[in-house]
Structure formats: C-alpha cells, structure tokens
Amino acid sequence: MKSTTIYDCSIIEIDKHHHDKGNISVVENGNTVNFDVKRIYYLYDVPGGESRGGHAHKDLYQFMIAASGSFDVILNDGELKRTISLNRPYRGLLIVPGIWRELENFSSGSVCLVLASLRYNESDYIRDYDQFKEYKKISKGNLNINQIEPK
C-alpha cells in the first residue's frame, strides 16, 4: 500500500444544478468519486461539544459531505494535521485510506453524509492512535498491518 498523507485527501466540488424550486447535487460512482459506493451512512443529532471519528481505515475511501449545517474534519497522517471545514452541501471531502480522522464543532442540526467504498468491516478500522502510528511506520515500508500485534 502506498503511504498516504493528508495531501492525498481533497475537496471535490459536486455538480450543482440550480432550479427555482430548489437545488440538486449529484454524486456518481467513478465520476464524482473515484470509487464505487458500497455503503452510505449519516451522522446527525451530535450533541454540542461532542466529537466523532477518532479512527483510520486501512483500505476504505470515504467521501464526506455536510448535507446540512457544518462541522470540522481534522485529518492526520501521523506527521501532519490539517483541519477542513465542511459547510456546503455541494462540496465534499475525499478521505483516502491510512488517514486518522476526527470530526468536531458540529453546528446545531448538522448532518454528515458519508459515502464509503466498502461495506462495514471492523478489521479495516484502526481505533487506537498508537497502533495507527505504528501502522504508518510499517506502511511506509510496504508491510501489512496484520504484522502488528494487537494491543
């Protein structure tokens, strides 16, 4: 696996079709995002001051959209951090595998819509930050996360 950095994550403008009766934005497999969407989920009613995320994925790509309201996404590749504010439903954030992510500063009524490249698979998650740091060291040497002993 290629060692990914926060700079491999990017903001993608979603096609916005304006109409007097309301706007529509469209996300298409292989066009808007460079993967086939296998799972869609959304976060909502996040209490003030709470954060979500706090993990990384080994293989999963995500396309994250603030369908309503706003929130911040903190991206971390083990060396650098970058905060992205999502607040427009026609702009999404592509998050590549091997990036630790945390979501915070949810506005009242916000909805975080996530399009994922894979179905849910617990073994794809790295939920411990120290294990993530070890994974990033190993991934730079093109070794496999399965070679790390769980803590």
Q: Which two tokens stand for residue 102?
A: 């945390």
The pLDDT of residue 145 is 40
Query: Is the CB of residue 55 less than 8 Å from the CB of residue 124?
Result: no
The one-character DSSP state at 26 is E
For the stretch 88-131, pLDDT in tens is 999 999 999 999 999 999 999 999 999 999 999 999 999 999 99
**Catalytic positions, written as ranges:** 55
Q: What is the pLDDT of residue 140?
A: 66
Q: What is the pTM of this model?
A: 0.87
Give tens-digit pLDDT for 21-73: 999 999 988 889 999 999 999 999 998 788 899 999 999 999 999 999 999 99
The Cβ of residue 103 has, within 10 Å, a number of other Cβ atoms equal to: 21
Of the candidate CATH numbers 2.60.120.10, 3.40.50.720, 2.90.10.10, 3.40.50.2300, the domain formed by 29-133 belongs to 2.60.120.10
Q: What is the mean pLDDT of residues 72-95?
A: 97
Least confident residue range of 16-20, 127-131, 145-149: 145-149
Across the range 71-91, mean pLDDT stands at 96
Hey, where are the domains in the chain?
Answer: 29-133
- Number of helices and strands (H, E) in the chain? 1, 12
Q: What angle (nearest 5°) sits at the alpha carbon of residue 75, between those of residues 71 and 76? A: 150
Other C-beta atoms closer than 10 Å to the C-beta of 95 total 27
Q: How many CB atoms neighbour CB 124 within 10 A?
A: 17
Kindly tell me if the per-residue pLDDT of 135 is higher than 70. Answer: yes
pLDDT at 2: 59
